[in-house]
Chain A
Amino acid sequence: MLLREVEYARPASVDDAIRLLSEHPNARALAGGQTLVNVMKARAAAPDILVDLNRLDDLRSVGVTPDGGLELGAMATYTQLVGSPEVHSTRPIVAEVASQIADVQVRNRGTIGGNVCSADPTNHFLPLMVALDATMTIAGVDGQRTVPAEQFFLGVYFTAAGPGELLTRITIPPARRGDGFAAVPIGADGTCIVNAAATLEEGGARIAIGCVAATPVRATEMESVLSGADVSDERISEAARGLGASLDPPSDVHASADYRRHLAEVCAVRAVRHAAGRS
């Protein structure tokens, strides 16, 4: 590990963590480290101080809210989510998607908070949080505030959790008609080329596409076509028509913009079908 010299603190309470983050303008919270440490090794990021959240057991909790939703501590690991009865009984898609992320070692360390806060556009949880209409609780020295997932993602590696703030909790509303997810990763468990998540609810759908822009993109046209009760395969495919053309995705070594546009339609259809299959 060839990091730049960096201070390290391991606070014992969330308050301490927030205090440390707010006292140091160039501090970064260290969750599972599966992205941040690699980025630091590449010296693409060079924080002055790492605030290690791994002793904050409060942030590891996974629970059901009184209304039957899901409350996830930001430090819940993917492995925790995969095995959680609370997740399975409310929004099992969260466990399914967690199980698709990389390998066992990464899943043992990586956390849902880290996944969304690192905000890499190819991450799995970004479109899922948007589709599930999750609410992010962000704590700072002046107290806490909540931000809907859709407003949480502001850019590549850039979220609403600003300097001195910490994402503490993700709240997911109670189950709707069904949730779905689809992705085309590189190989069985590599980086996503395109991914999509969908939630079907009474009188509507929420569909979000990942990897096609800096932040997840809501497929609003498609959602409006699917606002009725008809979620037949034909209807879903019809709804996705034109989705690709509405996007302006990047080209890279894994996919041209055209290929991503195409995959966006395919993944959106698959995610909605997946959701419809459970409704």
Chain B
Amino acid sequence: MTETTVAPERTETEAPQRGYIGVNVPRKEDKRLVQGEGLFVDDVKRHGMAYVHFVRSPYAHARIASVDVSKAEALDGVYGTLTGDEVAELTDPFFQIAPPPGGHVKDYALAVGRVRHVGEPVVAVAARTRELARDAADLVEVEYEPLDPIVDPERAADPDAPQLHDDVPSNTIWNGHFDYGDYDGALAAADKVIRIKRLHFDRFSSTPLETSGAVVEYNRGTGQWTLHCNNQFPGFAIIMMAPALRTGMDKLRFVSQDVGGGFGNKICTHPQLVALCLLSRKLKRACQWTEWRTEQHMANSHGNERVFLDVEVPVTDDGLMLGFKARMIDDCGAYTRYEPLGCIIWAQVTPGAYRWRNVRVEFTQVCTNKSPCGPNRGYSRMQHLWFTERVMDVVADELKLDRVAVRKKNYIRADEMPYETPNGCIYDSGDYALCLDKALELVDYESIEERRREAESRGKLLGVGIGSTLDSGTNNFGQATLVNPELQYSVNNEVASVKLDIFGEIVVTLGTTPQGQGHETTAAQIVADILGVTPDDVNVRPGHDSYWNSHAGFSGTYASQFAVTGLGAVKGATEMLADQIRTLAGAVLGGVPPEQIELAEGFARIKGNPEAALPFMACGAIVNANNAVLPLELRDITLNCRYVYVPPHQLPDKERKYGNLTLTYATQIHACVVEVDEETGSYEIVDYGAVDDCGVRINPQIVEGQVHGATAQALGAATHETFAYDEQGNLLTPNFYDYHVPHALDMPPLKTGYIESPSPFTPLGAKGMGEGGGAGLSAVCSALQDALRPVGRPIVYDSCNPYWRVWEMLRDPAKTRENVEVETR
């Protein structure tokens, strides 16, 4: 017998007294996702759709002498092609965030005249099937004249280095001087000065389970493009694309439902989207593209590589670090895209978790013949925080100071919060020392010496390490003016709309583009508390559609901010709706003032007289379908409320590069224990404790999931994940054979802990926390250096430490020690 009754889907969660905040409400998204009923971009199909394949450059640097698509176009089933020449004719180069010289970079949807990295799209081919498109791509004949590539960022500015872009001399995109406090005074006051010649943060990236993709349709009657895609920051994509396509912003409609991971890598997909827009218009049919894994590795945005040179740290005899000086070279790859914003974003966490008051940084960003960089989970701060933690361990170890004690001495203290950093950022709340104690407890720090001896008896070197990082969230986009004073960006915003429909349904529309963060669930928790219903009663529309008109310029899902901006907007819109319901119900229930109406159990009722109640259904019906009942003076009640949350930011000071660059600063203090095989240099993470503080946790289980993910990302980056290039600019790790992400067996059992230091600056006391600060990266490097101490005290100076690097440290520790010098004053 066929089952025809559909059981209502309800999550049986008791509402505790204080509401749904802090409750592990089961995720609304999970049912469709675990049952295979999600809708991802590759699930979108259109009649007569063309499949697109990109012909990509095999060279890191070459002039394009000629492109011949005739054989490809002659193949039966091929609908057409798009070349760089057409792109140059039909579009303008993308807007550049950088002022000159970086502003001179000319970046198009396809390579125009020259290719600058292996994997750069050169021609797009559209055909009846994916396979045909790929077959046809093999028939495209591109003649290249190879040019010398520049791969090493430290050599990019050399006078003899090949130049990537016209009018960008020395391959230097951006250069800036940051000087806070009194560095010279600090140096003069120091008892000891530690100098580190070079620290190096490797290039890597997150690898979302779902690669990038889109189905783009063009409506010839209206000139309207609809982009079903997994771009995670449509607001940014639209401001890049509309001028390039010479069209209006509203002509680009972005739609997504489920997105299989973003991590920032899906922000800069605008070049491919423009190519699809042009093709769909040219071919008069929907055009579909799904990136393959190898393409994702070769040409999706990578995380920035960074070198820290001539690092100098003044220290007093009692272990207080007074600040630091360093020259930093950041490698953004072949094109700038989101860059050079990374040149300022690190400054959100200038002193890391420490009371370093005197900082002098010379920051340079160069371009090289490698895949373009873009935001990647922990964007730009992760590199910098790793640097601060390496400095902390190197100084502690060289001065023979206890690593825990020296951290506690230098940490910003709980009683100093909110704390103003030397460059004007306001750390909102936190207790780093307490988090450290908890993390050490999780890995049973007391027993470490005993475990060290036990490991030694098995031929293993055991070490413990600490990572103290911050996840700064809710950007002040005014910081963009610190890299380019001409930009007209400031603060931030996010939108939500909440309405009550005819039958009393509560419908929430977000401006965000969730990629697994559980926005439907946490939004419903907030709405439920305000309207006196359960999360099951709240329908949060999945995904994003710019035609819902529930977005603003900075809408999207990126940079650790939904708990503040997204839920701030949800709270604002729901409170507006609640006010309207109370006003309406008060009037209908006989002229009762709104403040005497309470919202509970799906009713608007008079306080103390629950019999006198108007169901939400009646409210919705009156406003939407039964207007005669609506008193004339209440005709402005719509029960459809849109709210824009704007964080309380100010414009930073461009001259001094000073101001609060983000609103919240979540804490991650992680501790890790490694065991190194002394013979081979291979190692295993055998114990791991993660303590996170993101203020009020709306849904602790979702927070926990983010901690797990951020930790896996960091452990992958610390151990094996690196986009390595050879001297010719060939990517050596273009697939999962060679680019080893943590598998289930690679992950240690994670022990997690938390404290809650509510943010005084946010609507709910919550802080963004999705990115994490890469604490695991620092913790692994720290633990390796500790483990290797008995064999010549080598120094870990790279962020990624595959076994061969560990073996080299074991083999020649003295070589690594040449990197460090201690001057006693």
Contact = CB atoms under 8 A, between A and B. Distances in A.
Contacts of A188: 684, 743, 745-746
Contacts of B131: 2-5
A256 B804 contact: yes
A187 to B, nearest CB: 5
B803 A103 contact: no
A253 B733 contact: yes
Contacts of B294: 42
Main secondary structure of the interface of A (DSSP, over half): loop
Given A2-B134, A3-B131, A190-B740, A184 B803 contact: yes
B719 interface: yes
Interface in A165-201: 184, 186-191, 193
Given A3-B131, A184-B680, A191-B737, A254 B743 contact: no
A190 B680 contact: no
Contacts of A256: 804
A266 B808 CA distance: 15
Max count, chain B CB within 10 A of own CB: residue among A186, A189, A266: A186
Contacts of A186: 720, 740, 802-803
A226 B661 CA distance: 67
A2 B130 contact: yes
A256 B807 CA distance: 11
A259 B804 contact: yes
B436 to A, nearest CB: 29
A193 B802 CA distance: 11
A252 interface: yes
Interface residues of A, number: 24
A255 interface: yes
B659 to A, nearest CB: 42
Nearest to A120: B737
A187 B741 CA distance: 9
Interface string A211-244: 0000000000000000000000000000000000
A263 interface: yes
B803 A193 contact: yes
B682 interface: yes
A189 B135 CA distance: 34
Nearest to A265: B679
B746 A187 contact: yes
B803 A5 contact: no
Given A3-B131, A256-B804, A187 B680 contact: no
Max count, chain A CB within 10 A of own CB: residue among B131, B681, B804: B804
B732 interface: yes
Given A253-B724, A253-B738, A263-B680, A187 B743 contact: yes
B742 interface: yes
A262 interface: yes
Contacts of B684: 188
A103 B746 CA distance: 12
B292 interface: yes
Contact of A187 (B733, B740, B807): B740
Contacts of A43: 138
Max count, chain B CB within 10 A of own CB: residue among A187, A193, A259: A187
Contacts of B745: 187-189
A145 to B, nearest CB: 33
Interface in A23-37: none
Interface in B719-745: 719-720, 722, 724, 732-733, 735, 737-738, 740, 742-745
7 closest Cβ pairs, A-B complex: A188-B745, A253-B732, A186-B740, A187-B746, A190-B740, A253-B724, A2-B134
18 contacts: A2-B292, A5-B135, A42-B294, A103-B743, A103-B744, A186-B740, A187-B719, A187-B746, A188-B743, A188-B745, A190-B743, A191-B740, A252-B732, A253-B732, A255-B803, A262-B680, A266-B679, A266-B680
Interface of B: 130-131, 134-135, 138, 292, 294, 679-682, 684, 719-720, 722, 724, 732-733, 735, 737-738, 740, 742-746, 802-804, 807-808
